[in-house]
Amino acid sequence: MDAIVFYAPHEIGLQSIPLPPMTPTSVRVATKLTSISAGTERMTLEGRLPGMPQLRYPLIPGYENVGEVIEVGADVDPAQFQVGDRVFLPGTVRYEGFFSVFGGQVSESVNDAKRPIKVPAGISNETALLLALGATAHHGIRDLVAPGTRPSILVLGQGIVGQLAARMLTQYGAEVTIADTIPFRVGLGEADHFIVVHQETDIPSDSFDVVIEATGNVGCFDTAVRALKKHGHLRSLGFYEDVRFAFGPAFIKEIRLDIAGEWDAADMAATLRFLADHDAALHQLITHQLPARDPNRAYTVALRDPECLKIALTW
Q: Does 53 have pLDDT greater than 80?
A: no
Q: Phi, psi (5° rounding) for residue 174?
A: -75, 160
The model's pLDDT over 25-46, given as tens digits with 9 standing for 90+, comes to 999 999 999 999 988 899 899 9
Q: Does 293 have pLDDT greater than 80?
A: yes
Number of Cβ within a 10 Å radius of residue 195: 17
Mean pLDDT (whole number) for 131-151 = 97
Give residue 247's region: left, alpha or beta (phi > 0; psi -120 to 50): alpha
Q: Could you tell me the maximum CA-CA distance found in the chain, to the nearest angstrom?
A: 63
CA dihedral 193, 137, 181, 219 (to 10 degrees): 120
DSSP letter at 159 equals S
pLDDT at 241: 81
Domain 2-129+286-314 matching CATH 3.40.50.280: the answer reads no
Taking a C-beta distance cutoff of 8 angstroms, is the pair 131, 117 a contact? yes
Q: Does 52 have pLDDT greater than 80?
A: no
- The domains of the chain are located at 2-129+286-314, 133-259
Q: Phi, psi (5° rounding) for residue 256?
A: -110, 125
Query: Which residues are paired to 195 by β-bridges?
Result: 179
The SS3 assignment for 160 reads helix
Q: Does 270 have pLDDT greater than 80?
A: yes
Percentage above 70 pLDDT, the chain? 100
Domain 133-259 matching CATH 3.30.530.20: the answer reads no
